[in-house]
Amino acid sequence: MAKCKLDAENSIAWRGRIQSCLAAVVLSLGLQGCDWLSDPVIVVKNVGRDVIYGVSLEVGGDVVGVGSIPVGESRVVKPEVATDSSLLVTYYESSVRVVCHGDVYFTNNLYVKIGVDVGGGVCRIAEIAD
């Protein structure tokens, strides 16, 4: 009888240790798994031969002003997305208004990194793998 009691006490102690271990693993996986719950990142690069002016991004129900981007330079934008949307990039090059439509998807609290190459007749918008 004493042996049965000792085994029961050991099994209760082990059960507590196992539960603590499982809780730590679940918490760790949960925190790592939440990386996708953040605002998106948009990298806008001027690949043309002239400065582009008045760059703006229409995304997530808002318009974000980026300003001008010199040749070969980039700007990183982290918009707050309130509604599901695609991406619309507008800028001026040599006094001509250029509109570039992106076939990418944004939704609230879903992390995505988008690369936007514009300028010199180029309009390239694509998701970037991290």
pLDDT at 86 over 70: yes
Looking at residue 69, what is its pLDDT? 98
pLDDT of residue 33: 52
Q: Is the whole model's pTM more than 0.85, yes or no?
A: no
**Which residue segment(s) compose the domain that 119 sits in?**
37-127
* 20-32 pLDDT, tens digit each: 766 655 555 554 5
The structural domain count of the chain equals 2
Query: Rounded to whole angstroms, how far apart are CA atoms 130 and 125?
Result: 16
Contacts 24+ apart (CB under 8 A), 74-79: 74/43, 74/44, 74/45, 74/46, 75/43, 75/44, 76/41, 76/42, 76/43, 76/44, 77/41, 77/42, 77/43, 77/44, 78/39, 78/40, 78/41, 78/42, 79/39, 79/40, 79/42, 79/106
Q: Where are the alpha helices (DSSP H) in the chain?
A: 2-33
pLDDT confidence band for 8 (50 / 70 / 90): low
Does residue 119 register a pLDDT over 90?
A: yes
25 and 87 assigned to the same domain: no
- Indicate which CATH number applies to the domain containing 52: 2.60.40.2890
> Region 18-45: what's the mean pLDDT?
68
Do 66 and 75 form a contact (C-beta atoms < 8 A)? yes
Kind of pairing between the strands at 122-127 and 113-119: antiparallel
The two tokens of residue 51 are 């400065």
Do 13 and 48 belong together in one domain? no
pLDDT class for 108, splitting at 50, 70, 90? confident
User: 31 and 41 in one domain?
Assistant: no
